[in-house]
Structure 1
Amino acid sequence: MKQTTKVTLFSLLIFPGVGHLLLKKYAIALGFIASFAYLLLGFVKDILTKSQQVIDSIMRGEVSLEISAIQQALMDQGVIDNPQLATTGYLMLLIWGLAAFDAYRIAKKNNPLVPPNISGTNM
């Protein structure tokens, strides 16, 4: 497998910045990993906190066990249709895409294609 493909797939399928680790670009890798992990942890924490409030309401009997009631409670808490969470999600996707593209770019720059022998003779 070509290095450009390998580092791009690692960045896309495993975690943003992992492709840079394979390229030994540790500072860039740390930047992508730290920024994505920070956003991801905040995203998950926010969703879990708001969802836990809905679960507590269900346990107290304030919200019935009907799908529409639970969905409405999640909307009221801001778990569903939350512009802040949507923005964070789009920012995470942007970082993920940039990490994969940058890993591909660096790998391609480090391994340029060897130009073909135009004269047709072996040197």
Structure 2
Amino acid sequence: MKKTIQVTLLSLLVFPGVGHLALKKYVLALGFFASFAYLLLSLINEISDKIHPLYTQILSGKVAIELSAIRQALIEQGALENAHLTTLSYLLVAIWLVAAVDAYRIANNKINHLVDK
């Protein structure tokens, strides 16, 4: 498998920055790891904060264990149409794609540089 495809797939399928590790670009790998992990943990924390009140309402019997009732409670809490969650999600996807494209670019430049010599 070509190095360009390999590092791109590593970044796309494993975790952003893994392709940079394979290319021995450790600072870039750390940057992609850290930024993606921070945003992912922020997203999980935000979702947890939105779900916890609903969880306690279900346990106390205030909300029925039915899909329509749970969905309505989430809508009332503003959890389904949350601009902050949407922004975090788009940033995660953007970092993932930028990491994959950058790994491909670096690998392609290395190959072209070796061919030119």
TM-score by length of 2: 0.92
Cα RMSD between the aligned structures? Answer: 1.4
Amino acid at match of 2:14: I
Matches within 5 A, 1:47-58: 47-58=47-58
| Aligned match of 2:34 | 34
Describe the SS at the equivalent of 1:34: helix
Greater helix share, 1 or 2?
2
Q: What is the CA-CA distance between 1:66 and the residue it aligns to?
A: 2.2
Name stretches of at least 5 consecutive residues in structure 2 with no aligned partner: none
SS in 2 for 1:111: helix
Equivalent-residue separation in structure 2 for 1:75 and 1:109 (angstroms)? 49
* Identity score, percent: 55
Count of equivalent residues: 115
After TM superposition, the runs of 4+ consecutive aligned structure 1 residues lying more than 4 A away are: none
**Partner residue in 2 for 1:15:** 15
Question: Aligned partners of 1:34 and 1:69: how far apart in 2?
Answer: 38
Shift in Å, 1:77: 2.6
Task: Give the residue type in structure 1 aligned to 2:96.
Answer: W
Q: TM-score, normalised by structure 1?
A: 0.88
For residue 6 of structure 1, what is the aligned residue in structure 2? Answer: 6
Q: Distance in 2 between matches of 1:19 and 1:76?
A: 42
Distance 1:23 1:50 in 2: 39
Structure of larger gyration radius: 1
Give the aligned residue type for 2:103. Answer: A
SS in 1 for 2:15: coil
